[in-house]
Structure 1
Amino acid sequence: MDYEFTENRAGKDEVYEHLVKCNRSFIPALNSRVDIKLYTEKIMNGAVRFEAWFNDRLIGLVAVYLNDNTRKVAYVTNVSVEPVHTGKGLAKKLVMRSIKRASQMSFEQLQLEVSVNNQPAVNLYKDLGFKKIEDTTDESYKLALKLN
């Protein structure tokens, strides 16, 4: 399969539709934690989006806030791949693109939060060098990757 990788190409409707399609892939489901429409707005207004496309359809999305220039900490708010396209390394490629961008912008750390029950995601982040910095709740970890 031929995938296309872009940055910030998707429109608001495409991001919203993607998040709805991936809703149940999140642990817990995305709509149990956020209003997906409002979350889409927040991503569109404040995050850099690393996107994977298949047949002109957004099928993978990593959204990162690269705006804390004081602390030099970037924050991954979303990693999602449509279920039919999982297991093909897309999430890893997209996260790696976000790591490269944060490094290029002289950020010192990339942080994210992940459910303790989402073992594939935990494994992915550990493989990329993320380390646990705190247990935010009984259900999630905060992980960080030192950059540069």
Structure 2
Amino acid sequence: MKEDLVLLLSLIDENFQGGLVDSSIREYCDKILKNATFLSIYKQGHIKAFIAYYDNDKKSLIGYLSMLAVHPEHQNKGYGKELLNMAINNLKNKGFKNFDLEVLIENEIAIKLYQSFGFEFVNQTSNKIHMQLIL
């Protein structure tokens, strides 16, 4: 599983000139596999898409989307929407109030997807947009 994630994120990272994650991709994969809720779509033995999010802040009831990734050859097939719906429904069922995320400014496709789900702009840094969905 970890090697599948490393390969997928390395492929996607090429499109963002190494700016996809703040640490090494291997370290990031270790972190999400250990600490995040992780859902994936495998077809024919290969990972097509995954979502990793945190749902462990029981005090603030804010979930945090760490990564939604779809293999470039399998985009526009509804995998991202399916995984995002599953995460949102899981958070709602656990009584969470908000779902937060940060997305790279240049990732216009992801921004449009998040907006279509009702995520709204909160603020912006030099390279990322903070968005939030009220559940």
Same fold (TM over 0.5): yes
| CA distance in 2: counterparts of 1:95 and 1:30, whole angstroms | 22
Q: 1:62 to 1:32 in 2, by over 3 A?
A: closer
User: Which segments of 5 or more consecutive residues in structure 1 lack a partner in the other structure?
Assistant: 1-10
Partner amino acid, structure 2, of 1:99: I
Match of 1:22 among 5, 12, 15: 12
Quick one: distance in 1 between partners of 2:11 and 2:44? 16
Moved beyond 6 Å, runs of 4+: none
Q: Is the 8 A contact 2:21 2:28 kept in 1?
A: no
Counterpart of 2:84? 95
- Name the CA distance, whole Å, in 1 between partners of 2:20 and 2:89: 30
Task: Please tell me the residue identity of whatever aligns with 1:60.
Answer: A
Paired residues of 1:30 and 1:36 also in contact (CA < 8 A): no
Alignment partner of 1:138 out of 111, 117, 126:
126
Alignment length (residue pairs): 135
SS state at 1:101 partner? helix
- What is residue 94 of structure 2 aligned with on the other side? 105
Shift of 1:80: 0.6
RMSD: 1.6
- How far is 1:17 from its partner? 2.6
Report the Cα offset of residue 28 of structure 1: 5.1
Partners in 2 of 1:97 and 1:30 — Cα distance? 27
Sort the Cα spacing of 1:43 and 1:32 in 2 relative to 1 into closer, same or farther, 3 A. Answer: closer
Structure 2 residues without counterparts, runs of 5 or longer: none
